[in-house]
Amino acid sequence: MTQNLVTKPFMEVLSGNRQASPPMWMMRQAGRYLPEYRATRAQAGSFLDLCFNAELAAEVTLQPIRRFGFDAAIIFSDILVVPYALGRSVRFEVGEGPRLDPLNSPDLVGTLNNAIDLSKLEPVFEALRIVRRELKPETTLIGFCGSPFTVATYMVAGQGTSDQHPARLMAYQHPGAFAKIIDVLVESSIAYLLKQLEAGADVLQIFDTWAGILPPREFEKWCIEPTRRIVEGIRKVKPGTKIIGFPRGAGALLPAFVERTGVDAVSIDWTAEPAFVREKVQTKVAVQGNLDPLLLIAGGSALDQAVDDVLHNFSAGRHIFNLGHGITPDASIAHVEQMIKRVRDYKV
């Protein structure tokens, strides 16, 4: 039987076919809560060394699939490899997170390369090819990038901040300079994601972690419109490509995001109001989410009840079970197993 004839539950949901038991995976499922990940990370050295070692990146991508049997693997990488491939300095300081050379003035924005050097990202594409060969045919492989706005917030400030105000301030004070960063990231993201599809990704996800800090007018300009351009650019070359958006914290702006971007599914965080999502979002696209990651630390009856709530709220429609954001390093493997069993045992 060829791979094309094998049913992928995850892709079935994105194609409009609800599953009796929702397919599932976890954001950041390859991570420090797994001892095998910690061992591989130590072998690699730095975080970026792990991202750019194709064999080791493939290995950590596959680790949660081997352990938990998730319906999807997401390639191990980072959203900031795109600035790196644009010629920016990117490094990860232990205990402090990412550090970049800031683009916090129009003059500095003028130093930004206009085109991405995809050769710098060849290890990501090779890791995708390795994982594609190793995965069972029914398991979906996800490629991804950060949204232009979220990536730009790190590029402007040179690091993460509590509310990413440096990028928001530049967008107000120097909208032309900020738009230049966004435009470069839109085109770079299209090229990067197309290469991920070539290398074996089945579906793409665009992570807009900081979308929720934008007021409505700015949300339209810096979240919706760049995402729409990426979706359009991908499908111009690869018609029918399935794309998931994750505008974290979008709340009441989710329906506009879905309608105007053309995504096939939207991830929702754990603060989303279920009835609103069911009525205004899930009637149009598949929904992915939205368990609070803290419950994988808490465990017990609180975890069982919360899993049941997610399933009750969304499984009558097209639903992919996931967390509302990434799993944390202090999550319990036993609690992940508890969650998986409860989801797998559920039938609509």
By CB atoms closer than 10 A (0-12, 13-18, 19+), residue 89 is exposed
Residue of 18, 32, 91, 235 with catalytic role: 32
338 is in an annotated binding site: no
309 annotated active-site: no
| Alpha-carbon gap, residue 104 to 260, rounded angstroms | 30
Tell me the β-bridge partners of 266. 245, 287
Name the catalytic one among 33, 37, 78, 229. 78
3-state class (DSSP) for residue 140? strand
Active site residue 318: no
Concerning whether 78 is annotated as a catalytic residue, the answer is: yes
The closest alpha carbon to 67, from 25, 7, 20, belongs to: 25
Task: Determine whether the annotation assigns residue 209 to a binding site.
Answer: yes
The answer on whether 325 is annotated among ligand-binding residues is yes
Q: What angle do CA 30, 31, 35 make, to 5 degrees?
A: 105
- Number of helices and strands in the chain (H, E): 17, 9
Name residue, tokens 């949901």.
Answer: 13
Burial of 20 (0-12, 13-18, 19+ CB in 10 A): exposed
Among 33, 37, 41, 192, the active-site one is 41
Residue 342 is among the residues annotated as catalytic for this protein:
no
3-state SS of 245-305 is: EEECCCHHHHHHHHHHHCCCEEECCCCCCHHHHHHHCCCCCEEEEEECCCHHHHCHHHHHH
Catalytic residue among 28, 88, 168, 318: 28
* 260 a catalytic residue: no
78 is in an annotated binding site: yes
The catalytic residue among 33, 84, 154, 192 is: 154
309 is annotated as contributing to ligand binding? no
29 annotated as belonging to a binding site for a ligand:
yes
Binding site as annotated, residues for substrate = 28-32, 78, 154, 209, 325
Q: Which residues are catalytic?
A: 28, 32, 41, 78, 154
Binding site as annotated, residues = 28-32, 78, 154, 209, 325
